Chain A
Amino acid sequence: MIELSHVSKRFGDVAAVDDISLHIEKGKFCALVGTSGCGKSTTLRMINRLIEHSDGEIILDGHPVAAYDPVKLRRRIGYVIQHTGLFPHWTVARNIGLVPRLLKWSSADVQAKVEELMSLLGLPVGEFAHKYPHQLSGGQAQRVGVARALAADPDILLMDEPFGALDPITREKLQDELARLQSQMHKTVVFVTHDMDEALRLADHLVVMRDGYIVQQGTPLSLLQHPNDPFVESLLGGLERGLKQAALTRVKDHMSPMGPTLPAQSRIPAAFSLLQGLSMMLRDHTDRLTVVDQHDVPVGELTLRKIVKEAQPEQGKVRES
């Protein structure tokens, strides 16, 4: 659990972070979003004391971070940065094993952990263990960066625009993989990004920052439904906000029981997103889809009428009245 209460950071007279309060539950994924220079990176780096905060209190598992030895604190917090920061003169295996070795694990333990993490992140040990960072593609290098951050089993993972320098396809792939890892490991993650789609995709808790303070925070859905500020709304994509919301909603949350009419031809798995459902309707020129479970057995149906009614409660009300 991470708790920031009234935390500020001033460089001279300029406040980079101004009186922010933030509560991150254990095992939750929190994304800090904002334009560059909004203080999101500074906030992140105050948690592992790469930057010392000027005011307020940051509490980690019940103790203020100021009470920890900064070096020991950092060794128990995973840290991933944009340009990976891998050591160019070390092999992949040695890079990943850095923190366990700093913690004086036995070499057998280090090796076992390195191999475990490499297979977890899809880096075959035989192929990659002895490569040097310059021999890796951007995506592979960042996988190594994530593996290095996870090596000492930290409860907390800080990620500072980890996928910012990657091409869109690799970025999406790594986002999927991070989501998969998070669903297995349940780390407390603080993730800094300027990419709202990335944040919406990954986060349980979304924090929008501007000029050093928090504009709005909440679950991605609640922000999409009630942006309380034009800035938040523009970050959330303006007109595309509805589609983004649909991307976060599952088909099964909007399906209705099978009706008396013939089932529709087009079928969609219940675990797919509403956005995919809408896309399928557009593709197949229909306003009705049959929802199937993982064994392709029909379990309900999805209709455009119902989606439109439920997706934006306020708009639905306006139309009814």
Chain B
Amino acid sequence: MSLLEALPRPQVSWRQWQPNSVLIFLACAMLAAIWLFDVVSVAPNRIVSGEGAGLIDAVGWLGALLVTSVIVTLVALALQPSRHGYQVALVGVLLLLLLMPFGLMVASNRLISGDTPGARLNMGMAYWCLLSFLLLCWVELRLRLVLLRRWTILLVLAVGLVWSLCATLGLEALALGQEFRARDAQFWRALREHITLVVVSVAISIGLGLSLTLLMRRYSKLQKSAFAILNFLQTIPSIALFGLMLGPLAWLAAQWPLLSQLGVSGIGWAPALIALVAYSLLPMVRNTYIALEQVSPDTLEAARGMGMRNSQRFWQVRLPLALPVLLEGVRITTVQAIGLTAVAALIGAGGLGSFIFQGLGQAAMDMVLLGALPILMLALMADAGLGALADVLRPRSDTARPGEIE
């Protein structure tokens, strides 16, 4: 016994030392990006490509030190993770996200002199890397801390608010802002068109999807062929589907003047809407079908045994219990529709996609961003919003927080 005690104790602590490799990788990638690539670039006008500026040129030694030290702190926290450490890391990530527009303001003051009024400030490679890696860090931390999706919405809103305030107050030179100011009314109209198309197409596909699912549940023979058709629709490339509808719709509009008075024609909103609904149906129907089928047979049997009629069973038991999974379908459908609507700009349906294609045509990347960034924001917000709604409606057992992971 004494001999055993005299032997050196095996060190077990290093075995429990499990650094969070994801966070470490992301933080190192951020460090490398901000020191190796251009953070911003400055161009004298819209067409000429800009001249890059590194981190120190852009925000000075003080700014560079601040950013670097926050990221190094992230690495340090990730080396020895704990719940508390993750919370601090989360604050750090948020801080960086909120500081980023101020960095642009500093860069604009330092790099653009008053005598070149048309000069444009562009966000560089390092800036985009930093932004996307920070978002990935957020996702990782959200998973580790088991945060609910509603916090993601709050984050998007808070960061969006700070960014838009900065953009309106102190960033006249930012290329994106200049593009926006040049097309103010056009932008809001495009945003409205985009959202309208998405909302209407999702609403139609919810109605259509639900009725199709109910039919499929009643006539089980229908199920196989319906899924085959929907699967087939999903495989047609979106541009081809838009193109395919040109002919038939133009013909229909020519046959019935009423339709053309309503605005139906080979191009425009009508083919876009039909294509969007066609694409939305598969995820919608598939999720609705699974949602309704996964309700526990014990529960349904009990409902029958208690003397509930079929309709009572459907509306009071099956549908409410299916709702979270069903909403998941709506979420997937909506996010997909937001992206697809961008392509619909090609056939004249309007929306934010029009900026992307115009910008591509004019080789003006800022204009492409003016279309792409809001689409990204819309998709993120729809995803978080509908996800949070599903979380709220889920029977509470599923949202019960598992204990701390570490």
How far apart sit A134 and B301, CA to CA, in the bound complex (Å)? 18
Name the interface size band of chain B: 10 to 19
How far apart sit A266 and B174, CA to CA, in the bound complex (Å)? 98
Q: Are B307 and A72 in contact (CB under 8 A)?
A: yes
Q: Mark B293-309, 1 if CB is under 8 A from A, else 0.
A: 00010110111111111
A148 contacts which chain B residues (CB < 8 A)? 306
How far apart sit A102 and B303, CA to CA, in the bound complex (Å)? 11
Q: Mark A191-233, 1 if CB is under 8 A from B, else 0.
A: 0000000000000000000000000000000000000000000
Q: When A85-B301, A86-B302 are in contact, do A71 and B395 touch as well, CB less than 8 Å?
A: no
Q: Are A87 and B299 in contact (CB under 8 A)?
A: yes
Q: Does A237 sit at the interface, judged by CB under 8 A?
A: no
Q: Are B303 and A87 in contact (CB under 8 A)?
A: yes
B interface majority secondary structure: helix
Q: Are A79 and B395 in contact (CB under 8 A)?
A: no
A72 contacts which chain B residues (CB < 8 A)? 307
Q: Does A81 sit at the interface, judged by CB under 8 A?
A: yes
A73 contacts which chain B residues (CB < 8 A)? 307
A86 contacts which chain B residues (CB < 8 A)? 299, 302
Q: Does B235 sit at the interface, judged by CB under 8 A?
A: no
How far apart sit A48 and B304, CA to CA, in the bound complex (Å)? 10
A53 to chain B, nearest CB (A): 16
Q: Does B317 sit at the interface, judged by CB under 8 A?
A: yes
Q: Mark A64-100, 1 if CB is under 8 A from B, else 0.
A: 0000000111110001010111111100000000110
Q: Does A50 sit at the interface, judged by CB under 8 A?
A: yes
Q: Are B317 and A102 in contact (CB under 8 A)?
A: no
Q: Are A83 and B298 in contact (CB under 8 A)?
A: yes
Q: Are B309 and A71 in contact (CB under 8 A)?
A: yes
B255 contacts which chain A residues (CB < 8 A)? none
Within 8 A of B (CB), among A133-165: 134-135, 148
B372 to chain A, nearest CB (A): 40
- Name A89's contact: one of B301, B302, B308, B321 (CB within 8 Å): B321
B243 contacts which chain A residues (CB < 8 A)? none
How far apart sit A102 and B317, CA to CA, in the bound complex (Å)? 13
Q: Are B301 and A81 in contact (CB under 8 A)?
A: yes
A89 contacts which chain B residues (CB < 8 A)? 320-321, 395
B320 contacts which chain A residues (CB < 8 A)? 89
Within 8 A of B (CB), among A31-56: 48, 50
Q: Does A128 sit at the interface, judged by CB under 8 A?
A: no
Q: Mark B380-392, 1 if CB is under 8 A from A, else 0.
A: 0000000000000
Q: Does B312 sit at the interface, judged by CB under 8 A?
A: yes
How far apart sit A126 and B302, CA to CA, in the bound complex (Å)? 26
Q: Does A132 sit at the interface, judged by CB under 8 A?
A: yes
B302 to chain A, nearest CB (A): 3
Q: Does B9 sit at the interface, judged by CB under 8 A?
A: no
- Name A84's contact: one of B302, B312, B317, B321 (CB within 8 Å): B302
How far apart sit A132 and B400, CA to CA, in the bound complex (Å)? 13
How far apart sit A86 and B321, CA to CA, in the bound complex (Å)? 12
Q: Are B299 and A88 in contact (CB under 8 A)?
A: yes
Q: Are B298 and A81 in contact (CB under 8 A)?
A: yes
B199 to chain A, nearest CB (A): 28
Considering only CB atoms, which chain A residue lies closest to B394 in the complex? A89
Q: Mark B274-312, 1 if CB is under 8 A from A, else 0.
A: 000000000000000000000010110111111111001
A71 contacts which chain B residues (CB < 8 A)? 307-309
Q: Are B306 and A79 in contact (CB under 8 A)?
A: yes
- Name A74's contact: one of B305, B317, B395 (CB within 8 Å): B305
How far apart sit A135 and B299, CA to CA, in the bound complex (Å)? 17
Q: Are A85 and B307 in contact (CB under 8 A)?
A: no
Q: Does B168 sit at the interface, judged by CB under 8 A?
A: no
How far apart sit A135 and B302, CA to CA, in the bound complex (Å)? 19
How far apart sit A89 and B316, CA to CA, in the bound complex (Å)? 10
Q: Does B84 sit at the interface, judged by CB under 8 A?
A: no
B393 to chain A, nearest CB (A): 9
How far apart sit A98 and B304, CA to CA, in the bound complex (Å)? 12
Among B298, B304, B305, B395, which residue has the most Cβ atoms of chain A within 10 A?
A: B305
Q: Does B11 sit at the interface, judged by CB under 8 A?
A: no
Q: Does B397 sit at the interface, judged by CB under 8 A?
A: yes
A81 contacts which chain B residues (CB < 8 A)? 298, 301-302, 305
- Name B306's contact: one of A88, A99, A132, A134 (CB within 8 Å): A99
| Interchain residue pairs A-B with the least CB separation, the first 3 | A85-B302, A75-B307, A74-B307
- 26 sample A-B contacts, Cβ–Cβ < 8 Å, listed by A number: A48-B305, A50-B305, A72-B307, A74-B306, A74-B307, A79-B302, A79-B305, A81-B301, A81-B302, A81-B305, A84-B298, A85-B301, A86-B299, A87-B299, A87-B302, A87-B303, A87-B317, A87-B321, A88-B296, A88-B299, A88-B395, A89-B321, A99-B307, A102-B306, A102-B307, A102-B312
Query: B-side interface residues toward A, CB under 8 Å?
Result: 296, 298-299, 301-309, 312, 317, 320-321, 395-397
Q: What 12 new A-B contacts, CB under 8 Å, besides A48-B305, A87-B303?
A: A50-B301, A50-B304, A50-B305, A75-B306, A81-B298, A83-B298, A84-B302, A86-B302, A99-B307, A132-B395, A132-B396, A148-B306
Query: A-side interface residues toward B, CB under 8 Å?
Result: 48, 50, 71-75, 79, 81, 83-89, 98-99, 102, 132, 134-135, 148
